[in-house]
Amino acid sequence: MATKEKKKDMELGQSTEMQNDVMVLLAKHVIATVANGSNFVFSPMSVNLLLCLIAVGSSCVSKQQILTFLMSPSSDHLNAVLAKMVSVVHANGTERSDLRLSMATGVWIDQSLSVKPSFKEVLENSFKGNCSHVDFFNKPAEVIDECTFKGAWGVKFDPKLTEDNDFHLLDGTSVKVPFMTNDKSQYLKGYDGFQVLCIPYVEDDQREFSMYIYLPNDKNGLPALLEKIGSEPRFFDNHLPRYHKLYVSNILHKACIEVDEEGTEAAAVSVGDIRFLCLRKNPDFIADHPFLFTVREDKSGVILFMGQVLDPSKH
């Protein structure tokens, strides 16, 4: 029995990695077509959950299209992945003010239509959501899934050390933005053409959250890094940094994922920027030019937020 459960957990872990790959391709497409050279952030988990819920209530043809897009072999498999993602949100950790992940799901259906019992069961039991009938004029239904995260850093930054410095833009110019400083140990690893820094948040009983910064070595190297991320399967799961002593310099924050000396608060919109400096004898991580970031639950591998920072002076 233990072997079967372990095998099932491994398969779900691989499925989560596949879902992350799908969301990377989606992010790459949106960055190229919608972001239009600006800061960008979205929630892969929220999009995944929304598509899973729509699949539950869809016809066979529509469901198969969603399963194909999500690289899921069957509805049962998709439901298992869904349950894993939802468990990240509804894990019964200790109630605390410095770490919070919540989800709100609502479905509005035209009053002329009926609701499938299986759909209503998943909505109420798995998503803790509700369904209402309304009088729509031009659409049969609307589904909304909102994901919010607030986390304090495991090691906080001292606001007295925050200073303005230059952030170099892709067009060769620079802007002055606030940077924060921390001289504690962090997780860092260098790869071919880029570095990855992990900044853990405080932990609860069952979950471990971290922000990951993917910084290209070249100041204008973000487009090439995005191509690399989109072309390598399991990229994020295969590029996790090990523990390394360094001097972390600065984090700046803008837009709707709010990063400050206390931690992070996000609502799937936009994030701030980070510059890091190591101790003299250790490798540098200086995020003073465009980079990619993720906010991840490390035990499950579920990515909550993903985005790029091009200009921290703009929302």
pLDDT of residue 251 exceeding 60: no
Six token digits for residue 58:
């869809």
Model-level pTM greater than 0.85? Answer: no
pLDDT of residue 149 exceeding 80: yes
> Which residues face 132 on adjacent strands?
108
Q: How confident is the model at residue 311 (pLDDT cuts 50, 70, 90)?
A: very high
Q: How confident is the model at residue 249 (pLDDT cuts 50, 70, 90)?
A: very low
Six token digits for residue 110:
């035209």
Amino acid letter, 189: K
User: Which comes out higher in pLDDT, residue 304 or 103?
Assistant: 304
pLDDT at 246: 45
Once rounded to an integer, what is the mean pLDDT over residues 117-143?
80
pLDDT digits (tens, 9 = 90+) for 12-54: 556 677 778 888 888 888 888 888 789 989 888 888 888 888 8
Question: HEC string of the chain?
Answer: CHHHHHHHHHHHHHHHHHHHHHHHHHHHHHHHHHHCCCCEEECHHHHHHHHHHHHHCCCHHHHHHHHHHCCCCCHHHHHHHHHHHHHHHHCCCCCCCCEEEEEEEEEEEECCCCCCHHHHHHHHHCCCCEEEEECCCCCCEEEEEEEEEEEEECCCCEEEEEEEEEEECCCCCEEEEEEEEECCCEEEEEECCEEEEEEEECCCCCCCEEEEEEEECCCCCHHHHHHHHHHCCCHHHHCCCEEECCCECEEECCCCEEECCCEEEECCCCECEEECCCCCCCCCCCCCCCEEEEEEECCCCEEEEEEEECCCCCC
pLDDT at 6: 52
pLDDT at 248: 44
pLDDT at 273: 36
Contact 308, 43 (CB under 8 A): no
Q: Which of these, 238, 212, 315, 227, lies nearest to 31 by C-alpha position?
A: 227
Q: What percent of the chain has pLDDT over 90?
A: 23
pLDDT of residue 83 exceeding 50: yes
Strands 209-216 and 194-200: antiparallel
pLDDT digits (tens, 9 = 90+) for 166-194: 999 999 999 999 887 777 767 888 899 99
For 24, what's the count of Cα atoms within 13 Å in the CB-facing half-sphere? 23
Contact 253, 273 (CB under 8 A): yes
Contact 196, 216 (CB under 8 A): no
Q: Report which listed range, 47-56, 135-144, 157-166, 269-278, is most confident.
A: 157-166
pLDDT of residue 252 exceeding 60: no
User: Which comes out higher in pLDDT, residue 86 or 167?
Assistant: 167
Domains of the chain: residue spans and CATH: 2-151 (3.30.497.10), 152-309 (2.30.39.10)
Q: Which of these, 308, 312, 40, 281, lies nearest to 179 by C-alpha position?
A: 312
pLDDT of residue 296 exceeding 90: yes
Q: How confident is the model at residue 280 (pLDDT cuts 50, 70, 90)?
A: very low
* Average pLDDT, rounded, for the chain: 79
